[in-house]
Structure 1
Amino acid sequence: MTAKKYSIATIITYLMVYLSPVIFALIVRPTQNQSITMTTFAYIIGAILLLIYLFKSQKFNIEQKPKAIGWMILFGFLGIFGSILLQNVLLMVEQAFFNAPTASQNTENIIQLIQENMVFILATTIAGPIMEELVFRRAIFGALSNRWGFILPALISSALFAAAHVDGHYLLYGGLGLFFCFLYRYTGRIGTSMITHVGMNLLVIIVQLAARQAGLL
């Protein structure tokens, strides 16, 4: 599969999955729990399809000389703690300069849905991050970097990544997007940013759920 065909197929599949809750609501008119379950199922199928596209795709320029898998795993796990630190710093900057709320409405909505149906945790901590890395980091940043190097493709990819979260924390998500692009570019393996993204989401959600269970939030 050529880079162009790969990117188009990946983005179209992601958009279909992203819009699946609306499609379900129009066709099936499900209950809240049914909608969460169907959305989770769509995310898992979407992630599997995007992984299949990945294995059929030709390598991009930044993947020609990848670091060893051991380095991918190491940087992926170190990236989890780096992304949490970066997230806290960017949240403080947003609050200080833009008077933005410290809480992310996107995260709040996700936690609420997980509390209503725990199966949704599979979508938010595994399937969702995998799809986002394959879309924003590989299909967009990776493909564009073949022609334009690192900076411009990383900025475009991160801006789109921030816009997709639609909760106003553009600096937060844009900064995280740039960090994920760096991990992918540095190791030459999309698996690095996948590990970091999955681990970050999982850690944030577990902490949020534990805090709510303890009555701290």
Structure 2
Amino acid sequence: MKKEYGFILITYILMQLSGIAGGPLLYKTGVALGVEPIRMETLVPGYWTVISFSLATLIILLILWRSTYRNDIERQKPVPLHFAALWAILGVFMAFAAQIIASSIETRLGIPQGSENTQDIIELVKGVPLVILAVAVFGPILEEIVFRKIIFGSLYNRLPFFFAALISSLMFSVAHAELEHTILYAAMGFTFAFLYVKTKRIIVPIVAHVSMNTFVVLIQYVFADEIQEMIRKAEKMEQMSQWIRWF
């Protein structure tokens, strides 16, 4: 792995750990400026997410801009831009289809649906709406560069597509700290890896990933109350169904 990629991985890891020092520092700064301590406790996680994600994205893009290294995928002729745009649009539908299939498999395996990670993000968005920018734009950019361009791309130099996509997807799942939804994250990883290999342009899975995240976050943020009501009704129907079967 080239040293530029090593610097990018270090930057990404530091971003993930930066809240340990950055959070308390931001809290003390806000309190010193006159913000109520209780208020700062609710604001710090959201604002530090925005700060850390944006800084990491800027640093990583600068590293890539200065780098001349290309992996085996990018050394091949990329598809024309108009085909890349079409694949990016198609990639959004592919990603949602992969999610539906993966969710169905997880349900059959008895894995509870719903993502704690997503719910935590929605709570952050409610407190600091700017978090939408971090999780819907900066996050997908970082993840595609780290998990597809660097990790998958490096593995693809030595392994068949399936194994390179599988390993990078498992790492993608671990990074989200939701191992119970490994199938779901693997489905996403395989989809975005396919788009990368098919088009030879990392921008294609980035656009598809950004579009998917933006849609999901906005829907869950704007229609949060309606979604909760639908969940309550579904749970009530399930309870009634079990009661009827018991009789």
What TM-score, normalized by structure 2, do the two folds share? 0.81
Pairs within 5 Å for 1:138-217: 138-167=149-178, 168-214=180-226, 216-217=228-229
Gaps of 5+ in 2: 29-40, 230-247
> Which has the higher relative contact order, 1 or 2, with Cα contacts under 8 A spaced 6 or more apart?
1
Q: Distance between the aligned counterparts of 1:164 and 1:200, measured in 2?
A: 18
Q: What is the CA deviation profile of residues 161-209 of structure 1, one whole-angstrom value per residue up to 9, with x for unaligned ones?
A: 0111112211000111111111001100100100011001001111112
Q: Which amino acid aligns with 2:55?
A: I
Alignment of 1:52-71 (within 5 A): 52-57=62-67, 58-64=69-75, 65-71=77-83
Contact 1:66 1:187 in 2 (8 A): yes
| Partner-residue secondary structure (3-state), 1:61 | coil
RMSD: 1.7
Shift of 1:10: 1.1
- 2:90 pairs with 1:118: no
State the alpha-carbon separation in 2 of the partners of residues 68 and 157 from structure 1.
27
**1:137 corresponds to:** 148
* Inter-partner Cα distance in structure 1 for 2:43 and 2:209: 26
Return 14-23 or 31-40, whichever deviates more.
31-40
Moved more, 41-50 or 119-128: 41-50
Aligned residue pairs: how many?
214
Long gaps (5+) in structure 1: none
- Secondary structure in structure 1 of the residue aligned to 2:129: coil
- Flag the structure with larger Rg: 2
Give the aligned residue type for 1:7.
Y
The one-letter code sitting in structure 2 at the alignment partner of 1:127 is F
Partner of 1:48: 58
- 1:214 deviation in Å? 4.0
The answer as to whether partners of 1:7 and 1:139 remain within 8 angstroms in 2 is yes
| TM-score, normalised by the number of residues in structure 1 | 0.92
Distance 1:215-1:88 versus aligned 2 partners, 3 A rule: closer
